[in-house]
Structure 1
Amino acid sequence: MKLALITDAWPPQTNGVVTTLRTISEQLRAIGHTVETFTPDQFRTWPCPSYPEIRLALGCGPKLRTRLDAFQPDAIHIATEGPLGMAARSYCKRRGLPYTSSFHTRFAEYIHLRTGLPLSLGYSFLRWFHGESERLMTATPTLLEELKARGFKNPVLWSRGVDTELFRPRSKDFLSDPRPVLLYAGRVAIEKNIEAFLSLDLPGTKYVVGDGPQREELEHKYPEVRFVGYKYGEDLARYLAAADVFVFPSRTDTFGLVMLEALASGVPVAAFPVEGPKDVILSDRVGCLDEDLAKAVTVALKLDAEDCRRYALRYSWRDCALLFESYLVPIPKNGQRSPAWWQRYS
């Protein structure tokens, strides 16, 4: 099968969406499929206002259409709702091609936090964007039911995996700071609610592994916190494994892949009892969810590393890729239609 995977989230962005899409592409290739990714780095881009790490492929439609016509995919998956996703949606609609899509990010909430735009408008856009997708892949049962309640007609459950060879228990001597070491890893942005973690009055040392538009502000406000920037591969794995508790303060994540990476490293999780954590931390032996985040940290410190590791071993990227494959909708061999003359120039 020739799969066209269109995504606005791709390196140098660092987040769970990028990790998921890159890993799924690798797994599908290992199975024997041809996966062509259509990503912002292949187009002229502009920095996203207030978030320059994210590059937007504005005006990408003509080049994307040319490349898709040349590739002649057997299936199309549109992963994100950005400029590339919009252009790919238009391409499929004009040619009468079926496609699938996925819901990775709480786009409406993030826009609301940054601009004040009502959530109702954000979700109206998202319903329109995904409304004619054959299947909308969602990461958790909670999100699936929420999207149904919001009027989305086509959600299906598509969970995640974790690299348990890279993320594994290691020596905690990597970090020599006063214990316990409490660590967050991810984007440093307002939607991640990191200050709920940093403001906790707890003994030990707090670490923030990551970067983003809020880093300078938080570094200035919390000088005692260790901000180390983004880490990748073995470096990231060493930081995670050296922590005593992984603190996940976000209230807006749809999954929270890094929680699985921490558990695979033998590190328990402390988080709020909200969507994302509630669907990942399904046992009180591997984490604590509480509206009192300090209490959650205190409880998590008592949990067993081996229980965390065993729990994470249940999540397989290969299984995730096979489920993704099963949801794809083949393009009929005679189904590709040329656009009408008035569509070719619009």
Structure 2
Amino acid sequence: MRILVVTDAWLPQVNGVVRTLDTLRTELERSGHEVVMVTPDSFRTLACPTYPEIRLALRPGAKLAAMIEAAQPCAIHIATEGPLGWAARAWCRRRGLPFTTAYHTRFPEYIKARFGVPLTLSYAVMRRFHDSSSRVMVATQGIEDELAGRGFRNIGRWSRGVDTGLFRPRPEARGADGPFAHLPRPVFLNVGRVAVEKNIEAFLTLDLPGSKAVVGDGPQLDEMKRRFPAIHFAGPRLAEDLARHYAAADVFVFPSRTDTFGLVLLEALASGLPVAAYPVPGPNDVIGGSPSGALDGDLGRAALAARAIDPALCRAHAMTFSWEACTLQFLDNLRPFETGGRAAA
């Protein structure tokens, strides 16, 4: 099957949405499907306000329509609610063709944190975007319940997986040549965008023994470096380098209250790193009743409790999350065109 995926989030951005979609493409192609990606790098773009690393397509309608028609897909999945997502939605609606969407990011909470826009207004926009979708894919039961309570319909599960070959315990990473060899132990680590919506300050202000380290880039990175000079900011890391940073730490601290899943939680667990987080959607769904993490309304207390968790339990829990199973969920949620043919011009 030829599957067309439209996304406003794409490489070289470094975030969970991009990693998820890139892995999905790989898994689909491995299963014999053809994947056509429609991304901002095919369009004229401008920088997203407050997020210059995110590029937004300018007036993509006509070019996007030509790309879809040239691809002749059997199914269309719209991954994001940006300019490309809205243009693809409009194209499908004009032609009466089914499409699926995904709710990767809690944009209403992000927009409220940055600009003070009321949640009711933002959720009304999100609900309108997804109302025409044949299936709104969400990663967890917690997010499904939340969206259903806000009037979203046609919700289906699309979980996440982790590359347990890349993200694994690496004893050598904790040695003299490891990335945190110069830091006092224990090392409490956070990986993610350094941004207000990630609640990063809740981690940086904790009173914890040892050291705190942050891996990632973001609009608040320079400000946080100035305000918290004692914190080790490692900047963005990728692939093997990122995996070594996980494996070199002692506890993973996840301060976000707004993530729909938190792929970094799985990456940490697969690396043998206990998780400390708030008991909110995302951590609640990933950790659940597993002994691999400590969830507490007091994040500092959770971080200290996580130190006592056996890393082997963390690794074992991560091994239950398979990208193969996630890809099958995605395929089950798709709505191929009933004609058996392709999208016609």
TM superposition score category, shorter chain reference: over 0.9
1:100 pairs with 2:100? yes
Structure 1 residue 332: Cα displacement: 2.5
1:300 equivalent in structure 2 = 306
Which residues in structure 2 correspond to 1:1-346 (within 5 Å)?
1-171=1-171, 172-173=174-175, 174=178, 175-176=180-181, 177-333=183-339
Give the alignment's TM-score, normalised by structure 2.
0.96
Give 1:214 deviation, angstroms: 0.6
Specify the code of the residue in structure 1 equivalent to 2:256: S
Aligned-partner Cα distance in 2 for 1:267–1:337: 46
Instruction: State the identity %.
Output: 57
Q: Partner of 2:235: helix, strand, or coil?
A: coil
Distance 1:323-1:221 versus aligned 2 partners, 3 A rule: same
How many equivalent residue pairs? 339
Provide the rounded CA distance (Å) in 2 between the counterparts of 1:146 and 1:272. 17
CA distance in 1, matches of 2:249, 2:99: 42
> Does the Cα contact within 8 Å between 1:96 and 1:335 map onto a contact in 2?
no
**Deviations, residues 232-264 of structure 1 (Å, cap 9, x unaligned):** 000000000111000000010000000000000
* Offset, 1:283: 3.2
Q: CA RMSD in A?
A: 1.2
1:334 CA displacement = 7.3
Aligned-residue offset at 1:333: 2.3
Change beyond 3 A, Cα 1:338–1:165? closer
1:203 CA drift (Å)? 1.1
Structure 1 distance, partners of 2:88, 2:148, is 24
TM-score (norm 1): 0.96
* 1:96–1:337 CA contact under 8 A, matched in 2: no
SS at 2:124 equivalent: helix
Contact 2:251 / 2:303 at 8 angstroms: preserved in 1?
yes
Supply the distance in 1 between the matched residues of 2:236 and 2:278 (Cα, whole angstroms): 24
Stretches of structure 2 lacking an aligned partner (at least 5 in a row): none
Superposed structure 1 runs of 4+ greater than 3 Å apart: 334-339
Is the 1:97–1:336 Cα contact (8 Å) retained in structure 2?
no
Q: C-alpha displacement at 1:12, in angstroms?
A: 1.4
- Structure 1 gap ranges (5+): 340-346
Counterpart of 1:344 in structure 2 is none
State the distance in 2 between where 1:199 and 1:132 align: 43
User: How far apart are 1:157 and its partner, in Å?
Assistant: 1.3
**C-alpha distance in 1, partners of 2:341/2:245?**
50
Deviations 1:154-187 (A, max 9, x none): 1111110000000000121212111000000010
Preserved contact between residue 97 and residue 335 of structure 1 (Cα < 8 Å):
no
State the 1:113 CA deviation. 1.2
CA contact under 8 A between 2:79 and 2:101: conserved in structure 1? yes
How many angstroms apart in 2 are the aligned matches of 1:212 and 1:222?
Answer: 15
